[in-house]
A and B are shown apart, each in its own frame.
Chain A
């Protein structure tokens, strides 16, 4: 809990560092912040073309499939982006740690926050796409979308816990980032993002295995809310929040274990 109070005490600094992160990323580009909007739009466009005209997926989790996929990809991009950046953040900010006395806890938090901001910028694209699809009669507009903040919280918890643990471990193990990259790839396909666990299209044994993946509940809850348009069952909420809190606690434990050795190693 010291972790949490420390973050709270330095909230102003975290917000300034997050602004720096965002400003630095777009400072030298022509379109600036529009990239946050443009990136997801491009992703959506590519998926729409590929999955409607090039080939049909075998396990179609929902229709229209590009929107279904997009609703699963968005939170995933937030989560995996934050985890990957967390692996380099402490080394990148080494001078601040070693020369200025900055609490190292701030940096994974800043990484998660800046990816969260990107995620929030992508939401208008998602909502716009849903609206267009419903206007054309392809889909019913998911009014449950107002539950989105609640569906996002477990994602933030998992990302924050994961980012804290990975950032601290990556200081000593510099090749952790590659490993994490492959692990995220694996996790991506093990999570119901390109398919759905509810539509009975896959062998039952496989579904039972995939349901063991704790990320499944997070993906399902999020997509139910922003795409399917139904309120997820309470068990799914409980699973998602349970895993979120657990991941956060574990992540901050790992971090506090390694904390004191970080400055010497960066």
Chain B
């Protein structure tokens, strides 16, 4: 394994729930004199079931899902704080867990002393911590307070110092549990900036967050957990969209009885099916095309069928490169189209006068959903398109361009 790699191999985690005594601390009295009848068997509560996934070095994975889905348990297993009931967790390299910032700061001793202890707990030697002390104090912006007992700190200072120590460790793998939600906005921005820099250096990250925009923007991949099961694992934006759709579906269930979201194709297509995407095709120059020269015109044609009339609908398209990077996204709502009614069968077209894409394979997600995200039909990688060019060009964008110079330096 390479440093920064993390593998979950068939991991299961059960918590013991001890029958009637689950809410009380066990006591000797209970142990010695507790009534044995009625005997409540200790039950195992499965917090995670059969989790298989891996994080490659330098990859940022967002962990999303509702409360109680098992996200924190998964993170603690990744950090080695908890041991799996079955399966194994493999990891390589130095790991830092940002689970609770400043956890374990002792209130009576100074910030400086606490930094030394926390740094050593995170795996640095005393010398290493002291060498980084100035950087840590600078980043935390707490100035002279560093030599006062931690109990005199404001909660913001506490959190800032906790973050500064944790990132000073320069880990290969970083686990982050919703900690960026604390602290003032300026600090959150600096935290994000710092994490982005660490990411560029190739630090792998697992990020638990309820901020779906952050997950989609920051993570390469997302893992969607629900009820201890891995629901979806894939490019961050499509997994986030899937989760949003599930959440919206749950909300709708409360008010009216809509058809439930169902998975049409595992990890790739889901929706409640009230509007169905029949087919998606590319056209260029008025003819169907799977191969389009860079810079030519291009049109996406969506054939749909409506099982019941809808007034609330949005058609959306997301372009991805072959490695899953989101290149462009647009939908009818963002483009300001007002909905009237959708009935029966029909065709929706989105045309691009020119597609100045770099040569390569591109895939598109096509979706029909309500304005708040409930999916009628969400189809990831619904169609693919090959862009060709006389020469190979790197990147995604191949705009028309021209070189000039002051003198005649080219033949």
Residues of A bordering B, CB below 8 Å:
12-13, 16-17, 19-20, 23-24, 27-28, 93, 95-102, 172-176, 179, 260, 263-264
- Does B149 count as interface, using CB distance less than 8 angstroms? yes
A174 touches B117 (CB 8 A): no
- Does B25 count as interface, using CB distance less than 8 angstroms? yes
B113 touches A175 (CB 8 A): no
Tell me how many residue pairs across A and B have CB atoms closer than 8 Å: 76
Q: Which residues 53-108 of B have a CB within 8 angstroms of A? A: 76, 79-83, 97, 99-100, 103-104, 106, 108
Residue interface mask B132-156, A partner, CB < 8 A = 1: 0000000000000000010000000
A101 touches B125 (CB 8 A): no
- Contact A24 B108, CB 8 Å, known A12-B126, A95-B100, A260-B83: yes
A95 touches B104 (CB 8 A): yes
A16 touches B106 (CB 8 A): no
With CB as the reference atom, state the residue of chain A lying closest to B104: A96
A27 to B206, CA, bound (A): 39
A102 touches B26 (CB 8 A): no
Q: Give the contacting residue for B117; candidates A16, A97, A175, A264; CB below 8 A.
A: A16
With CB as the reference atom, state the residue of chain A lying closest to B103: A99
Chain A residues positioned under 8 Å from B83 (CB to CB): 260
Residue interface mask B7-21, A partner, CB < 8 A = 1: 000000001100000
B125 touches A12 (CB 8 A): yes
Closest 6 A/B residue pairs (Cβ): A99-B103, A96-B104, A24-B108, A95-B103, A99-B100, A99-B99
Chain A residues positioned under 8 Å from B121 (CB to CB): 13, 96, 100-102
Please give the distance in Å from B274's CB to the nearest CB on chain A: 44
B82 touches A100 (CB 8 A): no
Please give the distance in Å from A9's CB to the nearest CB on chain B: 11
A263 touches B109 (CB 8 A): no
A263 touches B81 (CB 8 A): yes
Chain B residues positioned under 8 Å from A176 (CB to CB): 28
B26 touches A173 (CB 8 A): yes
With CB as the reference atom, state the residue of chain B lying closest to A176: B28
Residue interface mask B26-46, A partner, CB < 8 A = 1: 111101000000000000000
A20 touches B120 (CB 8 A): no
